[in-house]
Chain A
Amino acid sequence: MRLLRAFGWFWWDLVIGDDWRIAAYVVLVLGAGAGLAAAGAPDPVIALGAVVALMTCFAGLLVRDVRR
């Protein structure tokens, strides 16, 4: 059981790192993009929308952390 837990932590630490919110917002933004793609939205809307959302979330998270 300890070995399994250590194995799980290893992968969590490798992929998610020390700030799980980054992975969470990447999944949320790309999930929204997937929804747009499935709904048949035009390519430029999906691409530019995803870039703007990813950058806004990154900047917002960082500024919020520092000002807190």
Chain B
Amino acid sequence: MSATTLALVGSVFVASFVEFVEAFTIVLAMGTTRGWRSALSGALAAAVALAGFTLVLGYAIRTWLPEALLQLVVGVLLLVFGLQWLRKAVLRSSGRKALSDEDARYARETGAAARADRTTYAGIDLFGFLVSLKGVFLEGVEVVFIVLTFGLQAGRVALASVAAVAAGLLVAATGFALRRPLAAVPENTMKYAVGVMLTGFGTFWSVQGLGWFRAGHESVGWPLGEWALPLVVLAWLALTRALVALLATRPSEVVR
């Protein structure tokens, strides 16, 4: 397995793990307050919808886009995703934004679930079902995007999917064994690492994809070829560490 493939699998696994931790908190909150049948039905329905969404979107992107345009589309999506993760990670690391807290999320969700009216259909509580479905689907769509963008560009969709499914199973197994939110997971550090990887890969591929705009649609070549990729990732890491150091020294002010 090449270093690039290893980085791809690692990034997909960690990104999926973080998203599934958030989804698990919602399902756990619905399961304990509204009943496990409703919560798990909602999660299962979301998983089926996500599988269909992945197949349709993956087929459409792979079939309709030429190579340089695929690099551009994938690169731009990864860049926009990655920079959003990175922005929050820098603000959190420099103390400018509250850290992500699964215990607080669990308390919010259980509080809302306890106040909601109970409407059942075929023995399933609709509130628990819908909140579970929405939570798993929304977090899952980000996983789908990351799996497809990384997987399609590197030609390793199956491997990327296995990494995401493994992350999901690990979160579910650990979470159900503990029966509480996975608050001990270093979610913020993981999000920071994923943000750097998404942004690095996104920069690399989107620049390659700019070749679609010139005659012949040939991809733009990087100085040093594939070796430029780890350097781009390191450059983003260095910039964000410098920003954390710079912003942490200024008077505190929470950013929206």
B80 in contact with A26 (CB, 8 Å): yes
With contacts A19-B84, A51-B207, A67-B250 taken as known, whether A62 is within 8 angstroms of B90 at the C-beta atoms is yes
- Which stretch, B30-38, B177-185, B208-216, touches the partner chain A? B208-216
Residues from chain B with Cβ under 8 Å of A50 in the complex: 203, 206-207, 210
A59 to B145 CA separation, bound complex (whole angstroms):
25
Residue of B nearest to A40 (CB): B214
Interface string of A22-62 (1 = CB under 8 A from B): 11001100100111111010011011101100110011011
A66 in contact with B250 (CB, 8 Å): yes
Residues of A in contact, count (CB < 8 Å): 35
B243 in contact with A51 (CB, 8 Å): no
- Listed residue (A30, A36, A50) with the most chain B CB atoms within 10 angstroms of its CB: A30
Residues of B in contact, count (CB < 8 Å): 41
Dominant secondary structure of chain A at its interface with chain B: helix
A50 to B247 CA separation, bound complex (whole angstroms):
24
A50 to B246 CA separation, bound complex (whole angstroms):
24
- Listed residue (B141, B213, B256) with the most chain A CB atoms within 10 angstroms of its CB: B213
Task: Name A residues whose Cβ lies closer than 8 Å to a Cβ of B.
Answer: 14-19, 22-23, 26-27, 30, 33-38, 40, 43-44, 46-48, 50-51, 54-55, 58-59, 61-63, 65-67
